[in-house]
Amino acid sequence: MLVLGVLAPAAVTASGPRLPGAAGYAACAAAGPYWPTQTLALGFGAAWIACKEEGRLVRLVPPRRGRSIRLGGGEVIAVVAGLGAIWTLDGGGTVTRIDPSTQRVGPRFALGAARPYNLWVGAESLWSVDDATGEVLRIDVSRRKVYSQDSGWRRPLGHRLRGYERVDREPP
């Protein structure tokens, strides 16, 4: 699915809140609940802002106007750039890939987390946390599989991390 829209001009007027010394640009006012909160990613020559309550992204290259990218899922709580793409996480635990060149949305897959909390990129993987269990999740995006530490990084999903004990197995 690919849905684009054009927002108002990026430059912000002098009214309203200001951060002196900083340039301000129109993005989206859709904060939703305060936590988790990781609504900004930089990458591929643009800023990507997650509009949490509206289930969409804004791609912004100041001072040009932003473009809206509708994701079609739930409330988007996190966005990161890396591994050749933009990635979002919604409140239902769905991860969605966005092509940074075409802004094409998808594919998407489920984390299996009861309370997904943010998204990070590192060591050639995506990472997330289930805030309900403290479980660390590693996502192999090429295989579209999610591994938990409790399973020795080999079984997908649903295996609760038992504290933070040592695990002596190879990651995927």
Sheet with 85-90: list strands edge to edge.
76-82, 85-90, 94-98, 105-110
Q: Work out whether 107 is an interface residue with other proteins (CB under 8 A).
A: no
Q: Work out whether 149 is an interface residue with other proteins (CB under 8 A).
A: yes
Q: Work out whether 103 is an interface residue with other proteins (CB under 8 A).
A: no
Query: Which window, 41-49, 82-90, 91-99, 102-110, contacts other proteins (CB under 8 A)?
Result: 41-49
Backbone angles phi, psi at 139, to 5 degrees: -115, 115
| Per-residue H/E/C for 117-140 | EEEEEECCEEEEEECCCCEEEEEE
Residue 44 makes CB contacts below 8 A (sequence gap 6+) with 81, 86, 100, 101
Q: Work out whether 39 is an interface residue with other proteins (CB under 8 A).
A: yes
Work out which of 1, 6, 16, 107 binds other proteins, going by CB under 8 A: 16
Residue 130, beta-bridge partner list: 116, 135
Q: Work out whether 13 is an interface residue with other proteins (CB under 8 A).
A: no
Q: Take residue 146 and report the two structure tokens written for it.
A: 């999610």
Q: Work out whether 171 is an interface residue with other proteins (CB under 8 A).
A: yes
Q: Take residue 152 and report the two structure tokens written for it.
A: 């020795």
Query: Which window, 90-98, 99-107, 108-116, 159-167, contacts other proteins (CB under 8 A)?
Result: 159-167
Q: Work out whether 6 is an interface residue with other proteins (CB under 8 A).
A: no
Work out which of 1, 102, 107, 164 binds other proteins, going by CB under 8 A: 164
Query: Which window, 14-22, 84-92, 93-101, 104-112, contacts other proteins (CB under 8 A)?
Result: 14-22
Instruction: State how far the Cα of 164 lies from the Cα of 143, in Å rounded to an integer.
Output: 26
The answer to whether the CB of 66 falls within 8 A of the CB of 25 is yes
Residues that bind other proteins (CB under 8 A): 12, 16-32, 34-35, 37-42, 47, 49-52, 60, 62, 79, 122-123, 125, 134, 136, 149, 152-153, 164-171
